[in-house]
């Protein structure tokens, strides 16, 4: 009789989820599956709202990647209206988004996955958390938190608010930073670059000791990302599909529903997304996919880091490679902040008029976790009659399940409860999943794993929110 191993809830991710492993009679892992436990009804809630208000409304869908929804909405509207914002507006949007990426990637690398990477996934729960990291390595922790803060402050100045930005509108932006604010942001860009380069050296040194974990999470799937004529870009381009054999497929964002198909997953409120075909193909998105799909990244130090990254991962990427990919993108964003302010902003117009109409509006951006698609249909008064959102983590659903299964197969024979439970969580954290508006909890969330055979419990692993160790 097959057994099940359940991790509920999963910790140090954005949202609420559990992991279920099916174990066969031989004690081997048959498959693992992520169950997302919360209902997100935002697509229905958007119906009846005004099209031009979507950038401000959808920015409030998530407290972790609000800038991504903010920009995805405005990209969809402008594509549907056939308008191009002024160059100055596009640059200010890119500046805002560079801050957003710095903030989000720093959070992922050093706060969520950081305790695993810097303290070890086999460390006990009492010593495997950001507070212990601050005590044991205060210099690294301070630098990481400073980097995150710089990103958030850039968003606050350019976007009007640190969380849920408001300045990006269809046709441009509503305001520009003052000269003094731009000088401050430029200095922050230089500081951020120094911080990233320093932190990258330390983190990559730790990654080199994760060879066994890395090899246990292969991603033998297709990579999908936006590509701006072969160049890495967060806010523009077509969708490029690259499989392991180097066979490419390109399609426009507006055609996404001809190539992508969503599926309801068992026991979960989140849908998976696959490439249409016979058979359908699973794929992965996000920083790893962006660097694999695109041959060019435009800033010099990031390009050098990209070449080194490609040498490191070779031809067989794994889920662990997401971490180094985020480091490359943070270098790029820090460089880009300084570039935009030092040479590109000329004080030109920042907006043009946008008038709503009946029609369909589709746009996409690269959220920190991967491609984010917004698709709206409007009536004659410019109000939403139907909305479809494909969030980045949906695109990674199959890849997450694959990595959970693969790592669990490697760890289960060791009969180490702590290593197994956190290992499965760590497989998820590599993808930095964002399941809902972020939930931050001080301390440890309760967790229970029940291993059953023939309907009878044969082993139980339990921890409370207060106990320092699993017992």
- Residue ranges of domains in the chain, CATH in brackets: 3-39+397-463 (no CATH), 42-395 (1.10.645.10)
- What is the residue-level pLDDT of the chain in tens, covering all 471 positions? 457 777 776 766 666 677 777 788 777 887 877 777 766 678 888 999 999 999 999 998 887 889 999 999 999 999 999 999 999 999 999 999 999 999 999 999 998 888 888 888 888 877 888 888 888 889 999 999 999 999 999 999 999 988 899 999 999 999 999 999 999 999 999 999 999 999 999 999 999 899 899 999 999 999 999 999 999 999 999 999 998 776 789 999 999 999 999 988 877 778 889 999 999 999 999 999 999 999 999 999 999 999 999 998 877 899 999 999 999 999 999 999 999 998 778 888 899 999 999 999 999 999 999 999 999 999 999 999 999 999 999 999 999 999 999 998 999 888 888 888 888 889 989 999 887 542 223 334 445 666 676 667 777 776 554 444 333
What local confidence, expressed as pLDDT, does residue 464 receive?
A: 53
What local confidence, expressed as pLDDT, does residue 55 receive?
A: 95
What local confidence, expressed as pLDDT, does residue 15 receive?
A: 66
What local confidence, expressed as pLDDT, does residue 308 receive?
A: 95
- The 3 state secondary structure assigned to the chain is CCEEEEEECCCCCECCEEEEEEECCCCCEEEEEEEECCCCCHHHHCCCCEHHHHHHHHHHHCCCCHHHHHHHHHHHHHHHHCCCCCHHHHHHHHHHHHHHHHHHHHHHHHHHCHHHHHHCCCCCHHHCCHHHHHHHCHHHHHHHHHHHHHHHHHHHHHHCCCCCCCCEECCEECCCCCHHHHHHHHHHHHHHHHHHHHHHHHHHHHHCCCHHHHHCCECCCEEEEEEECCECCCCCCEEEEECCCCCEEEECHHHHHHHEEEECCCCCCCCEEEECCCCCECEECCHHHHHHHCCECCCHHHHHHHHHHHHHHCCCCECCHHHHHHHHHHHHHHHHHHHHHHHHCCCCCCECCCCCCCEEEEEEEEECCEEEEEEEEECCCCEEEEEEEECHHHHCHHHHHHHHHHHHHHHHHHCCHHHHHHHHHHHHHCCCCECCCCCCCCCCCCEEEEEEECCEEEEEEEECCCCCCCC
């Amino acid at each position: 009789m097959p057994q099940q191993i359940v991790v509920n809830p999963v910790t140090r991710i954005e949202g609420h989820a559990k992991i279920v492993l099916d174990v066969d009679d031989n004690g081997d892992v048959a498959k693992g599956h992520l169950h997302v436990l919360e209902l997100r009804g935002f697509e229905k809630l958007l119906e009846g709202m005004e099209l031009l208000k979507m950038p401000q409304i959808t920015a409030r869908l998530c407290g972790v990647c609000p800038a991504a929804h903010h920009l995805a909405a405005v990209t969809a509207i402008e594509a549907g209206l056939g308008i191009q914002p002024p160059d100055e507006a596009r640059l200010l949007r890119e500046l805002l988004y560079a801050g957003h990426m710095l903030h989000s990637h720093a959070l992922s690398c050093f706060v969520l996955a950081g305790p695993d990477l810097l303290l070890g996934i086999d460390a006990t729960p009492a010593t495997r958390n950001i507070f212990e990291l601050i005590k044991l390595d205060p210099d690294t922790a301070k630098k990481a938190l400073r980097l995150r803060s710089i990103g958030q402050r850039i968003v606050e100045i350019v976007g009007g608010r640190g969380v849920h930005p408001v300045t990006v509108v269809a046709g441009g932006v509503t305001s520009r930073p003052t000269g003094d604010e731009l000088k401050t942001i430029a200095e922050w860009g230089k500081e951020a670059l120094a911080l990233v380069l320093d932190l990258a050296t330390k983190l990559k040194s730790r990654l080199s000791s994760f060879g066994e974990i890395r090899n246990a999470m292969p991603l033998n799937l297709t990579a999908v990302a936006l590509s701006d004529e072969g160049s890495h870009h967060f806010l523009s381009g077509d969708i490029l599909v690259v499989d392991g054999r180097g066979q490419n497929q390109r399609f426009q964002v507006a055609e996404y529903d001809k190539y992508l198909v969503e599926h309801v997953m068992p026991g979960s409120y989140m849908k998976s997304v696959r490439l249409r075909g016979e058979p359908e193909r699973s794929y992965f998105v996000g920083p790893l996919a962006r660097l694999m799909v695109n041959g060019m990244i435009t800033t010099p130090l990031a390009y050098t880091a990209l070449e080194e990254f490609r040498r490191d991962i070779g031809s067989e990427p794994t889920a662990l490679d997401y971490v180094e990919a985020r480091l490359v993108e943070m270098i790029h964003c820090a460089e880009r902040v300084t570039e935009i302010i030092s040479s590109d902003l000329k004080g030109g117009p920042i907006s043009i008029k946008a008038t709503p109409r009946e029609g369909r509006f589709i746009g996409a951006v690269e959220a920190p976790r991967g491609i984010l698609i917004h698709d709206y249909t409007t009536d004659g008064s410019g109000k939403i009659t139907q909305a479809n959102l494909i969030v980045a983590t949906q695109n990674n659903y199959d890849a997450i399940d694959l990595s959970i299964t693969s790592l669990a197969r490697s760890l289960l024979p060791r009969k180490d409860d702590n290593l197994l439970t956190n290992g499965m969580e760590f497989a998820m954290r590599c993808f930095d999943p964002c399941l809902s508006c972020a939930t931050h909890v001080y301390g440890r969330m309760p967790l229970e794993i029940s291993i059953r055979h023939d309907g009878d419990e044969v082993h139980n692993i339990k921890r409370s929110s207060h106990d320092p160790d699993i017992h």
